[in-house]
Amino acid sequence: MNVVFDFGGVLFRWRPRDLLARLLPQHVPDAAAAERLFERFFENYQGDWGEFDRGTVEPGPLAERIARRTGLSVAEARRVIDGVPAELQPVAGTVDLLHTLHAQGRPLYYLSNMPEPYAQHLEATHHFLGLFRDGVFSARLQLCKPEPEIFAQAAQRFGVEPARTVFIDDMAENVSAARAAGWQAIRFVDPAQCADELRAAGALA
């Protein structure tokens, strides 16, 4: 059984509303304001941010686009864009799970919507990424989950049989897309729940 991990929200912390509150406190006085700014800034990872994930826009132009849409200054938008790497801290329980799967001989891969600057940061910063046999970042294929093509290209690149592959992601639409592509899939809530579902799937002893 092959196991494929998403990164943000699974292997690495991703709390964008907290990020906005921390970096732009003058615009986020409460949780409701954080939700409104999250929706305008990230557009459900479509729009401008979706192009960033896809590798078709650089941070500078992205900041200008976000500023025009949201009323933030370019400097404020860039502060958030540049602050994302510090937000992407490893989730200890998931890293432990990764090590356990590796020790049990499971072939490990990753499939992540990730802009190129953040991908480079993670590769340079976290030695445990060496436990993966291979992986796909969206910006390097110019494809994004939940598009069917990214699952097809990932399976081909990894040389895996989708039916013998478990994909772990925190986004319901990505889990649904993986299942539609013939993969097994788990929606990640926390490391303990994920481990339980991996055991049920026969991917974890």
Angle at 28 between CA 174 and CA 24, to 5 degrees: 85
Distance CA 30, CA 157 (A): 44
**35-72 confidence digits (pLDDT tens):** 999 999 999 999 999 999 999 999 999 999 999 999 99
Distance of CA 96 to the CA centre of its chain: 18
Distance CA 57, CA 7 (A): 21
**88-144 confidence digits (pLDDT tens):** 999 999 999 999 999 999 999 999 999 999 999 999 999 999 999 999 999 999 999
- Mean pLDDT rounded to a whole number for the chain: 97
Q: Per CATH, is 2-13+89-200 categorized as 3.40.50.720?
A: no
Q: Are 76 and 67 in contact (CB under 8 A)?
A: yes
Distance CA 135, CA 6 (A): 10
Based on the number of CB atoms within 10 Å of its own CB, is 159 exposed (0-12), middle (13-18) or buried (19 or more)? exposed
- Using alpha carbons, select from 77, 109, 125, 90 the residue that is nearest to residue 178: 109
Long-range contacts of 56-63 (CB under 8 A, 24+ apart): 56/142, 59/117
Looking at residue 109, its pLDDT comes to: 98
What is the bridge-based pairing of β-strands 134-137 and 108-112? parallel
Confidence at 26, pLDDT banded by 50, 70, 90: very high
Q: Report the Cα–Cα distance between both ends of the chain, in Å, rounded.
A: 11
Confidence at 81, pLDDT banded by 50, 70, 90: very high
Residue 30 CB neighbours (<10 A): 8
User: What is the domain partition of the chain in residue ranges?
Assistant: 2-13+89-200, 16-87
